[in-house]
Amino acid sequence: MPLESQYFSPFDEIYRAVTERMRSRSQQLAVDSERNWLNHIIGDFQNERNVWLVSPSLEAYRLQCERLRFRVVRLVASAFLHVSYDLPRVLADNWPAQGQWHAGPSEPRGERLYFDLRSIFSDVLSTRARRPQVTGIFAPILWCVPLKLIGNLVHWISHLREAAWRHGRTLSNLAPINRADTEQRMLQAMSIALREVNNLPWTFTLPEPPNVVAGSLAIVPAFLIAPDNLAVIVLIGSLILLCAAAYLSWTALKTDEISRFVDEFGSRVERYMDLAINHPDTFADMKDSSERLV
């Protein structure tokens, strides 16, 4: 079934905070051309996010996103799409010292402005990723125990963002017809990467069983939890502790698994994007090989 609008809400929670911080940073720039350039990129980046649910070219990627059950992996799929596919194209459209920006900023200055924003992403991810609306049932354990999940996500976002600058430069120098072909391969690279990672034996990518009836809270008669009924109170307390222990154990296993998912997905995105942009013949061979495994 088609993705609903709230599917990307975990990413949007992060993205709103990042955008707010970036706009605040841009307003501190004293040079008009630099401030206008950065604001324009921020606006174009938002425009790319706005078409995720309706763009026909993203259909293959959306189909793979449908398999992701938990908020935290939906956040990963959204963030990698935005950084590795949307961002290079926006940068290419606004490459420093070219087109409407021929008067500035220069490419070295634009690069400095771009990478000066790097800390914003790590700061926001490290804090907002622990909110229930972002990571769902995993949020409490991300506050309680040190896990590598958030660190892995921050690492890959930073790493792919560095690649986005290089890819943006390459796209900006391509002829229109060559750029269109390259961008098509880039989107194929994202879809292939997510499909291959989805097909690994993760438990959290399995579709929900059909005809599942949602559970409801039981209403316990008042006399069962009367203050003088010590045995029942002790039993209820023991069940609560047992459930808490089971939750911690289950989420610890799942977060470790999702951390491996981030690594597998990030490494594929990095490799396949490089092939799609710089080595089209090798990318075609990789694409054929991957499709034979489906």
Rama region for 271: left / alpha / beta (φ>0; ψ in -120 to 50; rest)? alpha
- pLDDT at residue 126 greater than cutoff 50: yes
pLDDT classification of 142: cutoffs 50, 70, 90: low
pLDDT classification of 6: cutoffs 50, 70, 90: confident
Measured CA to CA, the distance from residue 157 to residue 18 in angstroms comes to: 13
Q: Which of 210, 211, 198, 182 is nearest to 283 (CA)?
A: 182
Q: What is the pLDDT of residues 45-83, one digit of tens each?
A: 999 999 999 999 999 999 999 998 888 889 999 999 999
- Whether 3 contacts 62, CB under 8 Å: yes
- Whether 69 contacts 205, CB under 8 Å: yes
Rg (C-alpha) for the chain, rounded Å, is: 23
> What pLDDT is recorded for position 245?
46
> What pLDDT is recorded for position 86?
98
- pLDDT at residue 212 greater than cutoff 50: no
Measured CA to CA, the distance from residue 108 to residue 233 in angstroms comes to: 68
Average pLDDT over residues 195-210: 67
Q: What is the pLDDT of residues 240-279, one digit of tens each?
A: 655 544 444 445 446 678 888 999 999 999 999 999 999 9
Single pTM value for the model: 0.81
Measured CA to CA, the distance from residue 46 to residue 42 in angstroms comes to: 6
> What pLDDT is recorded for position 136?
58
Which helix (H) or strand (E) segment is 249 a member of?
helix 230-278
> What pLDDT is recorded for position 254?
67
Domain boundaries, the chain: 5-292
Tell me how many degrees the CA angle 128-129-133 measures, rounded to the nearest 5: 85
pLDDT classification of 205: cutoffs 50, 70, 90: very low
- pLDDT at residue 195 greater than cutoff 80: yes
- b/e per residue 23-62 (b: at least 16 CB within 10 A): eebbeebeeebbbbbbebbbebbeebbeebeeeeebebbb
pLDDT classification of 187: cutoffs 50, 70, 90: very high
